[in-house]
């Protein structure tokens, strides 16, 4: 994007585990469209980091296969835990209600 004149700091990561992907592939090969997860980190106008991803439970839930949806819900929790480890409070939609 810098070649087009954009100056926003941006990096994209692929985050996943082949075993997790395979656990869904058997139910529907198109689950690989969302595995590994794509994560985008970019800066806002103040230089603060913005973390963006498609919510796994929503992406995988769209297949309408309960076993795949459950994997997505588990991935929501894993992403929430990752954010906590780096000192970021995850949104409730990822972390689920406080227990």
Mean pLDDT of 57-80: 96
59 has a pLDDT exceeding 90 = yes
pTM for the model stands at: 0.84
94 has a pLDDT exceeding 90 = no
Architecture of the CATH domain 2-86: 2-Layer Sandwich (3.30)
98 has a pLDDT exceeding 70 = no
Q: Where are the domains of the chain?
A: 2-86
96 has a pLDDT exceeding 70 = no
Q: Higher-confidence residue: 23 or 91?
A: 23
First and final C-alpha spacing in the chain: 42
d(CA 95, CA 91): 6
Q: What is the DSSP letter of 48?
A: -
Give the other-Cβ count within 10 Å of 40's Cβ: 13
């Amino acid at each position: 994007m810098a070649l087009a004149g954009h100056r926003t700091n941006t990096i994209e990561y692929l985050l996943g585990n082949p075993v997790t992907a395979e656990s869904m592939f058997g139910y529907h090969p198109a689950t690989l469209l969302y595995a590994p997860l794509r994560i985008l980190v970019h800066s806002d106008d103040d230089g603060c980091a913005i973390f963006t991803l498609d919510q796994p439970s929503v992406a995988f839930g769209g297949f309408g296969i309960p076993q795949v949806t459950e994997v997505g819900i588990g991935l929501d929790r894993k992403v929430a835990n990752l954010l906590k480890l780096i000192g970021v409070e995850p949104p409730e939609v990822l972390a689920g209600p406080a227990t």
